[in-house]
Amino acid sequence: MTSQVSPSQGAGGSDVEDEDVDLFSVNWNQDHSCFSAATANGLRMFSCKPFKEQLRRIQEDGGFRIVEMLFRTNIFGLVGQGADKQYQQNKLTIWDDCHNLLIGDFSFKSNIRAVKLSKDYFVVALEHEIYVYSFKTLKLIHLIDTTSNPKGLCCLSHHADISVMACPGTRQGIVRVEHFGSKETKFITAHDSNISCMTLTVDGLLLATASVRGTLIRIFNTMDGACLQEVRRGVDKAEIYSIALSPNLQWLAVSSDKGTMHIFSLRARPRGKDASNGKSAIAGRQMDRSYSSGSVGSNVSSSLSFMKGILPKYFSSEWSFAQFRLPEVTRYITAFGDQTTVMMIGLDGSFYRCNFDPVNGGKMVLDEFIRFMKPSMSRSRTPNT
């Protein structure tokens, strides 16, 4: 990859004064300690605690539309924006930046919508197909047909012992779940309308989904397809930008085009798991794969829930426990940090870190705001506090 390194500069680890470049996408790494930024002239990598720009690569002949990281390594999945013949929108490059080494190139018949990486697998999503490759052999091991999937929806677990992938099925509202280790396939009827967003837990045993209506988020057991919990973002239709599950399985975060990031308390618990630290109580490779819907959780439910079945469904819905207001001018992707810390990165080049009260909930407190880039197409806005 022809590139040059630019040093990190400025407050918060990024020099925004020299920025005037399109920001195409931002993506968290697998443990949410870093994120990547795909720009019209290259790529950036930022660490979150403390916030700092760790890597900058400038492409002389064009940039990237998708940049995916593999944990905290310098291995990237790169999809170009098409300006450079070497990096096209239908071509995935697996690149080892530490050793300046090309691991592999993979070309497809249509543009790539998304890329996901894990220790054992990497996944390429096209609009109607999902390609699953082995990282060890770089060979194709699964080719999966999907319904129209312009967002490239797919998610991949990254637990050391369990590999699970979820993607849209061949009919609207259906999620296909592949358990690679046990070679089991499960189809989950998640919604009546098309899926708009989904995420898996680290071990892949819980799945959270939202539809294009954007009012309800549902949590499923991926082993048997049971719906364990349903929470309500709101009543009006919305586009869900991201869903995040906390590592300790106590909280769920949702961002949308309505400008509010919602936190929900989870009742779904894996049996045999210590919710305080998220570690399995069963040692070694044996994991308890049964999840249940318990009484843990304190989402706000309507006082009219006793009239469920008589009044509209939203009266008995579980509502968000904590909230944070964001500017509505851009797309934000959220992730959990330590305990009750939530982070958000926006396509306007903004980074937020905020905290919520795990007992009382309510309005979240902004701890940190950084403008890590100044994209040429963004509108500068002061963050809401």
Instruction: Single out the residue of 116, 97, 90 nearest to residue 45, CA to CA.
Output: 97
- Residue 77 CA to residue 153 CA, distance in Å, equals 16
Distance from CA of residue 52 to its chain's centroid?
21
φ, ψ (nearest 5 deg) of residue 307: -100, 20
CB-count exposure of residue 224 (10 Å: 0-12, 13-18, 19+): exposed
Structure tokens at 146: 């999907």
Question: How many whole angstroms from its chain centre is CA 1?
Answer: 27
Q: How far apart are CA 280 and CA 333, in angstroms?
A: 28
Cα-based torsion angle of the residue sequence 302, 201, 289, 190 in order, rounded to the nearest 10 degrees:
60
Q: Tokens for 127, please give them.
A: 């609009």
Q: Which letter, b or e, does each residue of 282-305 get, where b requires 16 or more Cβ atoms within 10 Å of its Cβ?
A: eeeeebebebebeeebebebbeee
Q: Which residues contact 329 (CB under 8 A, 6 or more apart)?
A: 348, 378, 379, 381
Say how many C-beta atoms besides its own lie within 10 A of residue 307's C-beta. 12
Helices (H) then strands (E): counts for the chain: 0, 36
List average pLDDT for each run of 10 residues in the chain, which is 385 residues long.
43 49 93 94 93 91 91 93 80 92 95 95 97 95 96 90 92 96 93 96 94 94 94 90 93 94 82 42 38 50 45 60 88 93 95 95 95 67 39
- Residue 17 confidence (pLDDT): 46
Backbone φ, ψ for residue 71 (5° rounding): 50, -130
Residues found in the chain: 385
What pLDDT was estimated at residue 319? 81
Say what the pLDDT of residue 87 is. Answer: 84
**Dihedral sign, Cα of residue 58, residue 60, residue 65, residue 71:** negative
Dihedral sign for Cα atoms in the order 207, 167, 233, 158 = positive
Per the structure block, which two tokens stand in for 360? 């009382």
Residue 258: which of 323, 349, 342, 190 has the closest Cα?
323
